[in-house]
Structure 1
Amino acid sequence: MKDWRPNLAAIDDPIADDYWSYETKDGTRRTSRVTIGRPTPLADKKDWYCPIHFEHVTEGIYYSYGVGPVDALMNAMYFVRRRFYALKEVQPRAKPSTGPKRRKASKRSEAERAKTKKRAAAPVRREKRA
């Protein structure tokens, strides 16, 4: 029997994409990306699906199904809404975590940075007060 379910590697046409920060069951803060794809008809052209990727929650891409595009989208949003209320202290529009904090890359050239380092290394001379 042929598998009729979609098998996407990525969501190429997202209609909603956000980062949520929330508290896990063990009390640590986590930031996850939530992406919902555009509703698409199945191969039978009768039913529709809507891909969902919820980082740290779903394993890969999850699919919600419906008898039409709006129904598939409503089912996808219901899935996300249930997770929203199941998680603790959810903060939408969170900044994505990029691992350890890094300094911003400087726009100055290597020569300009070398001059600054040399100047900073020179001793500061002060006049003696009488």
Structure 2
Amino acid sequence: MKDWRPKLAAIDDPIADDYWSYETRDGTRRTSRVTIGRPAPLADKRDWFCPILFEHVTEGIYYSYGVGPVDALMNAMYFVRRRFYALKEVQPRAKPTAGSKRRKESKRNEAARSKTKKRAAAPKGTG
């Protein structure tokens, strides 16, 4: 039987990316990267998947599935939400630790960020 599951090496098109600091069960503080990828169709073109990378929680990239893109994304967020409430003293927007690897930004993301900065810096017209 052929394995139908996706096999991504990285999440190249994230829709959400953050670092969370939290307390582990043994009481130590840890910082993990949480990345949610854009939903994509499975090979059968009927069902969808959404990749999740939760450093120190998932072994590599984990996938949620759904009957459509919104369903797959809702299932991914449910997975992350359950972890949020299961961990102790979660602090979103934490500073990445020295050992964390920040993914190199894609040119598309750099261009969009540059465009946003230019728009924000432009003087407001009167009218």
Q: Same fold (TM over 0.5)?
A: yes
Partner Cα separation in structure 1 for residue 28 and residue 51 of structure 2? 28
AA aligned opposite 1:72: A
Partner Cα separation in structure 2 for residue 97 and residue 64 of structure 1? 27
Aligned to 1:78: 78
- Residues 14-52 of structure 1 deviation map (CA, whole Å, 9 limit, x = unaligned): 000000000000000000000000000000000000000
AA aligned opposite 1:94: A
Aligned to 1:90: 90
> Are 2:63 and 1:41 equivalent residues in the alignment?
no
Partner Cα separation in structure 1 for residue 52 and residue 3 of structure 2? 19
Partner Cα separation in structure 2 for residue 93 and residue 67 of structure 1? 31
Aligned to 2:10: 10
3-state SS of 1:33 partner: strand
Aligned to 1:54: 54
3-state SS of 1:64 partner: strand
Structure 1 regions of 5+ residues with no counterpart?
100-130
- Identity within the alignment, %: 92
Aligned to 2:23: 23
3-state SS of 2:74 partner: helix
Partner Cα separation in structure 1 for residue 54 and residue 41 of structure 2? 21
Rg (Cα) greater in structure: 1
AA aligned opposite 1:10: A
With normalisation by structure 1, the TM-score equals 0.75
Structure 2 regions of 5+ residues with no counterpart?
100-127
Aligned to 1:116: none
Count of residues paired in the alignment: 99
- Residues 64-91 of structure 1 deviation map (CA, whole Å, 9 limit, x = unaligned): 0000000000000000000000000000
